[in-house]
Structure 1
Amino acid sequence: MILEACYFLVWLVVLSLAADRFVFGASVLAKNIGVSPMIIGLTIVAMGSSAPEIMVAATASFNGGTDTAVGNAIGSNITNIALVLGITALLKPLSIASSTLKKEMPLLLAVSLLAVYFLADYELIRLEGIILIVLFFVVIGALAWMSIHVEKGDPLQPEAESEIPSGVSTSKAVSWLIIGMILLPLSAYFMVQSAEIIARHFGLSELVIGLTIIAIGTSLPELAACVAGVLKGEDDLALGNIIGSNIFNILAVLAMPGLIAPGVIDANAATRDSYVMIGLTVLLLVFSFNIRGSRRINRVEGGCLIACFFGYQYLLFS
């Protein structure tokens, strides 16, 4: 089992690196053909941060692991808010100045509520998967529109621009894009295989393995990006990565089991986990835009989020 855990970690690292190279190649290619850095930041980079979850959910769904895929989508959102954002705020309080993020947060709440509604009957059908993936492309278009019509002086704009690599040739960008596209599904497949073996050994359900080991693993790139962002003073970009990733986790990741392996799901996903996700999403909005009018997530609030994460883990394993 130790060897299997090592395999899991190796493929997790490969998955994370593949996602990073995929985003790098896609971002550089988009910039070289004249796409605005703001559009790249709000769409390609945000979508790329959800690439590990999308690949894992698709792989699990093809293997009949609908609950693993559903757990990955919900668990990644819980982990992103409670653990990733909590750790980030503990390191350095996040100041929120971007009006673009203010528009994205209600969108995150709306798609999260839609997910709760779809899961409420303990079933995810193909029509719901189609609706989610259609909304995914609609949201991509909406984010692109928002990036074009961004308010003057929005701090998210220079932060997004500084993150796009410069001076990289198109051929090199295409090479990394292709490498990322090959390694993402390959590493996702082997990581899911290892996770399922570990889950069976410890007697864990498919849902719990998706909510925990896989969700935490696929959220590590977001943690690295957020910590790097706040240390460079790019607070809005760090929070924007979390919001964008969570939106795409609902629309693209949760769509995978609906499209590939529709059917009955573990009831706990509907009666427990989806409500934890909604509660944390509401808490994120309250912390970000509180009644005092300040736009800041401080260390106390970061500590509260981390406490919520460990409380949830205790709930899962008790």
Structure 2
Amino acid sequence: MLELGGVLIGLVLLFFGGNWLVEGASRLARSLGISPLVVGLTVVALGTSAPELLVSLSAALSGSSDIAVGNVVGSNIANIGLILGISGLIYPISVHVDLLKREIPIMLMASVVAVIMFQDGQIGRLDGIILVAGLIAFISFMVVSALRDRRIQPDPVEEQRLHPVNVNRTTEMLRFALGLIVLAVGAQITVGNATQLARSLGVSELVIGITLISIGTSLPELVTSIIAALSKNSDIAIGNVVGSNIFNLLAILGITAVARPINVSPQIAGGEALMMLGFSFLLLPFVINRVLGRRESMIFLAAYVVFTIYAVTIAG
């Protein structure tokens, strides 16, 4: 099917465009003397969410609200059910106490707020401003906490690597701009072909948004978490997922709603959004035990399979 090929091409462009944007922005920021810690918590975190942002923004501006919201909801569910499930099967995931005390409660709070906002049928500009304000507060909190908690100064050699003095800023600015352009083009191709694919298959745009597109835009998180699990850096795997879910809710929904209010169908508000909330709270009892083993990972994967079947057969 031509539409499916178009969606896949769009997702590939999103993947590479996001990588170029993050790499260019990170190296440029470091060459300007900005702390790698701050870069990681802001530029990189926002950059890895750029595919979801561009897709949701493009969908909202073109009137495809179900794709805009479904992308965010589906990505958050895929992050927990699919990505953590696969990562935990590769290597058991240990949960850092700071993640349990800080990021996970924030993710749960953001999920609850988003679901409440869904219930009146629209994420308006005021809702968007509230979410963006929450994003700014979250980033500020994380930067301050990280700077306060960092007790050991980095090795001079490592500091030199993280603050390259020989970076060609013009090259990095061009890389950043190219990444942004490729992202925008990829988003347009993805949304346009996804809409046509939904029509040709006789399914709703919501189904395409919460399955195919959400998995595609979550590829950076999937790759990062699998590499982290293979390297036995399991704290990175779960931190990546939790951070991505927070940014999806606060940054993507917030920025998109500020640009253009997003209509939320009763089906999303009463179905998929509540499932997203359920997946978020499903994480809680397992992380309290501080380890996500293979048994827990299989539960997550099974839950994601059930969700996908529901989305395709019932929601579609």
- TM-score, with structure 1 as normaliser: 0.90
Paired position in structure 2 for 1:306: 301
CA distance in 2, matches of 1:189, 1:11: 8
CA distance in 2, matches of 1:262, 1:73: 15
Q: Is the Cα contact below 8 Å between 1:111 and 1:247 reproduced in 2?
A: yes
- Number of aligned positions between the proteins: 307
- The yes-or-no answer on 1:131 pairing with 2:118 is no
Task: Output the TM-score relative to the length of structure 2.
Answer: 0.90
C-alpha deviation, 1:261, in angstroms: 3.4
Shift of 1:39: 2.2
TM-superposed deviation, 1:100: 4.8
Q: Which residue of 2 aligns with 1:273?
A: 272
Q: Does 1:221 align with 2:220?
A: yes
Please say if residues 100 and 288 of structure 2, whose CA atoms lie closer than 8 Å, have aligned partners that are also in contact. Answer: no
**Match in the other structure for 1:192:** 191
Matched with 2:247 is: 248
Question: 144-153 or 186-195: which moved more?
Answer: 144-153
In structure 1, C-alpha distance between the alignment counterparts of 2:280 and 2:192, rounded to whole Å: 31
Counterpart contact for 1:70–1:257, Cα < 8 Å: no
Instruction: State whether residues 126 and 259 of structure 1, in contact with CA within 8 Å, keep that contact through their aligned partners in structure 2.
Output: yes
- C-alpha distance in structure 2 between counterparts of 1:51 and 1:300, whole Å: 33
Cross-structure match for 1:235:
234
- In 2, distance between residues paired with 1:226 and 1:279? 22
Deviations 1:260-280 (A, max 9, x none): 332542111111111111111
The offset of 1:82, in angstroms, is 0.5
Task: Provide the residue aligned with 2:77 in structure 1.
Answer: 78
CA distance in 1, matches of 2:257, 2:16: 27
Structure 2: runs of 5 or more not aligned: none
- The secondary structure found in structure 2 opposite 1:68 is helix
Structure 1 counterpart of 2:67: 68
Distance 2:249 2:151 in 1: 30
Letter in 1 for 2:210: L
Structure 1 regions of 5+ residues with no counterpart?
A: none
Percent of matched pairs sharing the same residue: 37
Residues 202 and 123 (structure 1 numbering): CA distance in 2 closer, same or farther, change over 3 Å?
same
Q: Distance in 2 between matches of 1:255 and 1:229?
A: 29
Structure 1 contact 28–170 (Cα < 8 Å) conserved = no
- 2-structure distance, mates of 1:298, 1:151: 29
Q: Residues 51-109 of structure 1, C-alpha deviation per residue, up to 9 Å, x if partnerless?
A: 10000011001101112101111111001111011111111111223525631111111
CA distance in 1 between partners of 2:189 and 2:162 (Å): 30
Are the counterparts in 1 of residues 100 and 287 from structure 2 also a CA contact under 8 Å?
Answer: no
- Structure 2 distance, partners of 1:296, 1:44, is 29
Asked whether the 8 Å contact 2:10–2:190 carries over to 1, the reply is yes
Q: Give, as a single letter, the amino acid of the residue that structure 2 aligns with 1:248.
A: F
Change beyond 3 A, Cα 1:74–1:237: same
Q: Give CA deviations for 1:213-249 in whole Å, capped at 9, x if unaligned.
A: 1111101111001111122232222221111111010
Q: Please give the root-mean-square deviation of Cα atoms over the aligned residues, in Å.
A: 2.2
Letter in 2 for 1:211: I
Aligned partners of 2:21 and 2:175 also within 8 Å = yes
